[in-house]
Chains A and B, each alone.
Chain A
Amino acid sequence: MARPALDTPSYYLNRELSWLQFNHRVLDEARDPNNPLLERLKFLAISASNLDEFFEVRVAGLVQQIEDGFNEGAADGLTLAEERDRINQETHDFVDKQYDCWNGHLRPRLAEHGIRVLGLHELDSTAKSFVEEYCEKELDPLLTPVTVDPAHPFPRVINKALCVAFLLRRRRRSALTYTGVVTVPRALPRLIRLPSETTADFIFLADLVAFHAARMYHGYDIVSSAAFRVTRNSNLYLAEEEARSLLESVRAELHNRRKGDAVRMEIEADADPEIIERLRGVFELDSWQVFSVNGPVNLSRLFNVYEQTEHPELKFKTFVPRELRLTAKSSDLFEELRRHDVVLHHPYDSYDSVISFIESASADDRVLSIKQTLYRTNEHSLIVPALIAAAAKKEVTAVVELKARFDEASNIKWARDLEDAGVQVFHGLVGLKTHCKLSLLVRRDPDGVTRRYAHIGTGNYNATTARIYTDLSLLTADAEITSSVHDVFSFLTAYAENPSYDPLLVAPLDLAEKILQLIEREAHHAREGNPARIIAKMNALLDKKTIMALYQASQAGVEIDLLVRGICALRPGIRGVSDRIRVRSIVGRFLEHSRIFYFANSGEEEVYIGSADWMPRNLYERVEVLVPLKDPMLRERIRHEILEAYLADNLKTRVLMRDGNYRRAWQSPGSKRMTKPPANGFNAQEFLIALAEGKETLQDIPMLPSKARRRALVLKER
């Protein structure tokens, strides 16, 4: 019987449903009693803000496409309408699960620890008088009760802004009901801390607004009230080719984003059906786009509770990242780098080393020029001031990506500040996002030789996220690599295309093609009976060509382990197609963000790190860089410390099953029973912390029982 073609739809998983699965894993962390309580709350808040973004970008785009008359879907064969219906069902279930987690688990557990989110009726007299005063002093001046009728059109409702709707009836006049609406300007915290000596008490601003605004409608009876929140399409629609200045057009579109059409409305579950219907009409929503929520309309605000309460016993233990130590022979980092490359694994290795690489370059008179890409950086970034300070004395070039989603506004600000300071600012190439993380210094060293030094990362130059994202940094003075990094900067600033960026893999030029070649090479090795193996770690796997290459490699006998945190369109375990492919996802304390690609290559191991996921947008629409690690010691570390630990994890790992669902690594396949995680389970992130703190060693990574078996299998086949 002929084998079905590798592009058979049933061999692929749906992108959006796979993403929703990922958010389920985040929510599962919120439901997991083994996590500290406030961390669980944080996971719940993250799952809510993730879902916001999903609606603003993905669902909005889908609805738009359907409206524009498209219906053809992606590799998995679902039509857009079918996809929408599945999303409808899945997101409603998901939201129910979120509120169940909040009402049924977190809220009561937190109250046991004296952290309470109260309703108006639960306040004691002190809190009540505080609330009265707060409403009078802080809230009253900001609120304006608006009644909607033909003379008073509906006020604009800003994306994700809190609003309260009222159903009103004129006193002693008519049986007609009116709609009242109060929009709450962004001047006040969405969760307000109440005075209390022994407990940490909070109340939602929405409750206070409903309470106070009701008193502002003089001459009306309030029939019913409900807080609601509208999510709008937040995609930017840029006509880049025509734009005079990219900066100006991004700025203008950023403003338009606020006017994007509504894609979702969340409203309190006890809202009068009449209110819901009226609002649904105003925002032109289908009934599936209305989410009745059994609690506060914006769970992501619960993050404030996490931030505003101490209780270290309810949070993850803090840890001390490992500082980079120079060998005794080197007087500074540059000398160290001339001896050997350095790999840092953040957050276990301190990100300060990367910042001080740039800071010391800024202060060092020997450094002649600095080139730097910026995609997302933090608010109080030390890198931007370092570049500004350096601009006075040396040549400084920055490639600032203006289209980094949801960071556009702050990046425009950086770009302006840098420009004002005399930094040469480029906005990257038309139509391509600059996603690679590169920093390049030219330095006249004490021996009179001018050398280049580079930093290549998998994560953004952002000290805040570097503490919670796992990422890798390569610091190197290797002449070949730094020269190619220089060429990449020329590509970014002058569109000067080189035939080859060897040893770097650069998207959109040759990265996709080379990845396919690397996968095919492993397949070839397997066919020849040579050692072949692929271990790839990334955030998302979506590119169809790459997936087909992986299927072919699996068919050729290559053992493939994929560590894909988020979306994975590859379906593992299909007999004769992907039975040698295992997909794992780790969702835990840190957001897995590093991209690592390991190829056994018949004994000549190769390891690449960089900024690119295997998604079409990374491979074809962005400037991305992957760099090979040349130093065998560093390859060894990646393989036997980092990848080994991740593959051995059985506490935070979920295994993707053939049906597209994930199960915990410690759960036996098929059994739906929630058993307990093993007492002696292995948590890779915790292990890497302990390793950084010197409390554990590599010998503590458990040997995978399956690995021995796998090896035997490979031998047998040979």
Chain B
Amino acid sequence: MATLRSHLPLAAAGRSAPAGVAAVLALAMALAVTVAATPARAADDPTRRGFDADPTRFALSLDGGFSAETAAAADPGTWRAGALLELADGLMVLKQGTARDDLLGPRLALHLLGGWSFGRLELSAHLPVALWQQSDLSLLTSQGVTGPLADPIAATALGDLRLGAKLPLLDAAAWPVGLAVLGDLRLPTGDPKAFASDGFAFVPSLVATRPMGRLRLDGQLGYAFRGAGQYAQLVVRDGITWVAGASYDLPPAGRLTRWKAIGELAGGLPRGFDAGSDRTRSVLGLRAGLRAFLTPALSVELGGGAGLGETGYGHERWRVFLGLRFGGQAVQLRPDEDADHDGVPNAQDQCPTTPGRPELDGCPDSDGDEIPDPQDKCPDEPGPAEREGCPAPEGEPLVEIETERLSLKDAIHFDTNRDTIKRASFPVLDQVARLLVAHPELEHLRVEGHTDSQGSAAYNKDLSARRAASVVRYLVGKGVAAGRLAAVGYGFERPVATNATAIGRAKNRRVEFTRLAAGAPARSP
């Protein structure tokens, strides 16, 4: 480890330290970043302080990780508030030769977080408060140092208020990655002498997110514009900041239906950083933990972390944190606006804060079964409207007996806006043909095509007639007597449910087989 030199700025500055002590002090003093190899500059002021002992920050994003931001803005109208308690040790370390002493730490801090999303913009605020911090200047005072350098460090201090504004640029649903710009403005409300303030600072950054099923990867790269702070040799100044994080939605366990594991690596590199010098320090630390949703609006989180590398500024010894976040949706949406930008005005949008398809009343359909998610009892598995969007159950296993099952209504599907039967429906229709042959009591049948009321009456009638004719053609090709079947297209003339809702329309799109009045049960074999 480097030792101190007599020309160190402490001696040069020597504001209240007696001249005789300066050299001793110079030998005695170093922060975790021990000693500068470069000569002191005129601007140096080892007693200035003016930086926060903990360079990392909790994320401002409503749906972010612990320190990792995420690109997507939360649903418009969403607000969230959080309170976290964090205990961190080894935030700053004094070193003399082989002697090391924690200058600052442990520190118990309260973090108050709040945010609100409206339109595309997400606004947020963060106020850290050092409720209690332990400082130890004995390594200095035992050497006789007095004056500003050895001024006591307040045990309780307000931190810098942060205000954030995030604007998504790319939506991860449509692009390989989601991108957003985040502006993080830090106001000098904190106590610079208690290592609780960086002064006025602005940190613009670019946030990238890639969702991969249950996993979400978040990355952030920014630059912290700020004035320099200094204590003894350590200079803290403007530079790059970055975070890489991953969160994983854990499978439901017991009462926990929604919870996730979060892991993050955060770092920073000051301008002019020189790995061979200890005048500036990089920042590098890990955080990991769990966030569990007790209700859709209330989550609790617990985590810990540690700096990587030699303990000191930017590389805390360890940290643990525990917090609650509470959030909900603002209710007042303007009826004529379109909060989720899906083309369906709020007044008509059954899912006003989630983008969805206009034909599904603005609701999403995760499993693509044409039943909007809120009405779909099985939103992740496709299923027919008759079963409220749930798939047909598996056959009940019998010890010596195998079962297969078919139901006519389960599915005859057509290509969109065409009369061609989807290949997947062929096996069903093959079975239907066989069953019609096996059921001669259904002497004459009308094969009816029905649609919902989207589009013109003439178009739908023609389409449904052609679709019914396709089914008849197929069945005749599979051996059903042509004289038994008549194809009719009704368009949307005979709905079985309202066309005003998406689930009603899904019920209306159907093929029906109707026994004709003339087709009373046959008497002959």
Q: Determine if chain A interacts with chain B.
A: no
* Interface set of B (CB-CB < 8 Å, partner A): none
